[in-house]
Amino acid sequence: MRRESRLIWWIWWIVVVTALFLLGFVIGWFAKPTHSNAENNSASNKYLREFLDEMQPDQIREHLRKFTQLPHLAGTEQNLRYAEQIKKEWMEFGLDSVEMVPYDVLLSYPNKSEPNYISIIDQLGNEVFNTSLAEPVPEGYENVSNIVPPYSAFSAKGQPEGDLVYVNYGRTEDFFQLQREMNINVTGKIVIVRYGKIFRGNKVKNAMLAGAKGIIMFSDPADYWAADVQPYPDGWNLPGGGAQRGNVLNLNGAGDPLTPGYPAKDYTYRFSLEDGVGLPKIPVHPIGFHDAVNLLKNMGGQIPPNNWKGALNVSYRIGPGFTDDFKSQKVRMNIHTDNQVTRIYNVIGRIRGALEPDRYVILGGHRDAWVFGGIDPMSGAAVVHETVRSAGKLLSKGWRPRRTIIFASWDAEEFGLVGSTEWAEDNTKLLQERAVAYINADSAIEGMYTLRVDCTPSLHTLVYDLTKQIASPEDGEEGVSLYESWHKRDNWTNDRDAPRISKLGSGSDFEAYFIRLGIAAGRARYTKNKKTERYSSYPVYHSVYETFEIVEKFYDPSFKRLQAVAQVRGGLIFLLADSQLLPLDVNQYADSLRKYAQSITQLAQKHPEEMKMYEVSFDSLFSAVENFTVAARDLHECLQTLDRADPLQVRIMNDQLMYLERAFIDPLGLPGRPFYRHVIFAPSSHNKYAGESFPGIYDALFDIQNSADPEKAWEEVKRQISIAAFTVHAAAMTLTPPA
């Protein structure tokens, strides 16, 4: 070769070598994933399918059978045994860790040597009638010991005597009507009310405020009897000898009454019983309708309006006291129930998150039951058990969720949501900073009709998406999704073509997580047809007749309904823990806020003149909602263009989504209720069960009818509107892109 061509060859050679190297470099550079945690969505989806399919009716049946054989009241040996068994099995299923977490809390039990009962006494004080000391035990359980008789937990002790006054459901409005329209004063009387409509603790509080010296609650067939159904064991109606147990506290989220705000540990300061939160100062007792007839049948006084009449064959006269023929007779309550600081046990299981171990998704439900807990809570606990089993299976196949999942078996829910609240108090800082969502798992079934979901608005979309991937459990609906089945049976309302989802109230273990801490929360169960089945909860609620058999024979013989509920609860946990971007819908929150603002405005507009006189305006609230809506839309758009390969950006967005619910928390709490801190959702002060939106405004409006100083009452309405507007504005700010 000539030198020249040799040179050209070398140049050419160098160019090619360099080009090749550069090509390799460039391809290498771009071939390398920027981030080790790039999402593998299809893998996650595949695992979701496996996770849902693994949950089996037969398994759930066996879990339920196993944990309903013996009574397991909170604080008893048997409930500890079940806790240990759950711990053992969760470890076997494959959780990373399971621990027992004890607290020493105030519980309440009947005195074993002095039974509780109610008497009619004659003028000599002789007992001419006594209510029953226990429910007739269902067949097959005759030899079971430790069945606690019906009682009102935390009742004051005492033996008050007096005339009876009947006050319908014992609601605030019932007492108003009694005092204002019927002119009856219950001071020094014993009131008798029927169960239903509102939480029993609210009835007791109302009776105390009205001056009653005792209160009796009975289950009226009008409220606890389904049409054309036999009483248990031939059907699922409440026998006349059955009665509803339950606590009668007014805790408003405080947890253990002696350690409000702090976990009940060994070193924790305890208030005296006199200073304890929410303990009633008068005796309280529950009875069935066989006993109620005997107390009501001879009552004198006015005949009440029809909506005060139940379905018993008595006139439901108001009293006070008995008719002339029985005038000398009085009623005496004999209540010897004891309060007692007692050790309880939560069981806490964990699956460590692979990428974000410091983000928690919680599935929690209680384990303690009044007796066997066939429905409440073990239908829910069996579902959690199956969820844990299925998750363990998945772990063994190599799956691990992005975030940490926590499973909880709470204790002492029946005594005021105590186990779950103490754990929330114990872990309050961690939860505040790290909890993504809490899914509740109380009773999984209360009817045979369709799904019922109560949850925060940001979870609506996820619930809909998920239920489309789950099969309907109803016979004859093969190939129909749970979503479709549910949609057909319970469409929202006129304004939205989707299955109905309701607001969270209280009365179960999500309370501390949602209303105190502001963690996105939801619950799901199978329910009755609310349009045709008007009874409260379900007929045998909190009675000895809540057995395994009532579920197996009547509520869910195939256990497919419980399977569907397991798939909903489990699927929510799975998607919240494993999705790269949190499946929380901020636009839905905006829509819901607008509806709530409209509905609270409508409530206020029942007083158009006062609104004008006191210059009450909701403009600031609507303007805040508008603000929130725009911010939500902007965030939603940001999410669409997010660089999902950038782990820091994903985390920043997820933080915004996670902390949205937290933004609705006001550390000052609602008026007089320091542990109810959620400005958008809380029960009203008049009924713990019902979730109200803008509860501060709601209560202020409620109080107007009751106030001696209307100007002051309207000032409080205005103050509450201002707090609501501020909170929604502040929440909107958290949705705005940072800095």
The residue length of the chain stands at: 739
**Cα gap 434→361, rounded to integer Å:** 9
- Residue from 1, 124, 227, 648 touching a copy of itself (CB under 8 A): that is 648
Are the beta carbons of 702 and 654 closer than 8 angstroms? no
Q: Could you say which of 617, 637, 643, 711 is catalytic?
A: 617
Under rule CB under 8 A, residue 263 binds a copy of itself: yes
Are the beta carbons of 583 and 462 closer than 8 angstroms? yes
Question: Could you write out the DSSP letters of every residue in 94-116?
Answer: T-SEEEEEEEEEEEEE--SSS--
Tokens linked to 10: 């070398």
Under rule CB under 8 A, residue 511 binds a copy of itself: no
> Mask of contacts with a copy of itself, 86-125, x by CB under 8 A?
----------x-----------------------------
Under rule CB under 8 A, residue 614 binds a copy of itself: no
Under rule CB under 8 A, residue 7 binds a copy of itself: no
- Residue from 662, 673, 678, 688 touching a copy of itself (CB under 8 A): that is 662
Are the beta carbons of 284 and 277 closer than 8 angstroms? no
Are the beta carbons of 444 and 570 closer than 8 angstroms? no
Q: Is 246 in a helix, a strand, or coil?
A: strand
**According to CB under 8 A, which residues from 391 to 410 bind a copy of itself?**
404
Q: Is 580 in a helix, a strand, or coil?
A: coil
Tokens linked to 542: 């909190």
Cβ closer to a copy of itself: 118 or 519? 519
Q: Which of 238, 179, 167, 178 is nearest to 203 (CA)?
A: 167
Under rule CB under 8 A, residue 364 binds a copy of itself: no
**According to CB under 8 A, which residues from 162 to 201 bind a copy of itself?**
none
Q: What are phi and psi of 318, to 5 degrees?
A: -75, -30
| Cβ 436 to a copy of itself shortest distance, Å | 13
Q: What angle do CA 592, 598, 599 make, to 5 degrees?
A: 90
**According to CB under 8 A, which residues from 675 to 704 bind a copy of itself?**
677
- Residue from 31, 124, 227, 708 touching a copy of itself (CB under 8 A): that is 31
- Residue from 64, 391, 540, 721 touching a copy of itself (CB under 8 A): that is 721
**Cα gap 189→320, rounded to integer Å:** 8
Q: Mark whether 413 is an active-site residue.
A: yes
| Cβ 535 to a copy of itself shortest distance, Å | 40
Alpha-carbon torsion, ordered 496, 497, 499, 503, to 10 deg: 0
Task: Collect all residues with Cβ–Cβ distance below 8 Å to 606 and sequence separation of at least 6.
Answer: none
**Cα gap 475→368, rounded to integer Å:** 32
Under rule CB under 8 A, residue 1 binds a copy of itself: no
Beta bridge partners of 194: 218
| Cβ 518 to a copy of itself shortest distance, Å | 10
Q: Which of 251, 255, 310 is nearest to 534 (CA)?
A: 310
Q: Tokens 């945690």 — which residue? A: 37
Q: Could you say which of 413, 414, 549, 591 is catalytic?
A: 413
Range in contact with a copy of itself (rule: CB under 8 A) among 203-211, 286-294, 603-611, 642-650? 642-650
Under rule CB under 8 A, residue 622 binds a copy of itself: no
Range in contact with a copy of itself (rule: CB under 8 A) among 130-138, 346-354, 465-473, 547-555? 346-354
- Residue from 350, 525, 607, 688 touching a copy of itself (CB under 8 A): that is 350
| Cβ 438 to a copy of itself shortest distance, Å | 16
- Residue from 34, 41, 159, 705 touching a copy of itself (CB under 8 A): that is 34
- Residue from 355, 611, 630, 642 touching a copy of itself (CB under 8 A): that is 355
- Residue from 297, 488, 489, 651 touching a copy of itself (CB under 8 A): that is 651
Q: Mark whether 290 is an active-site residue.
A: no
Under rule CB under 8 A, residue 8 binds a copy of itself: no
Which run of H or E residues covers position 175? Answer: helix 172-176
Cβ closer to a copy of itself: 36 or 641? 36
Known catalytic residues are 413, 617, 655, 678
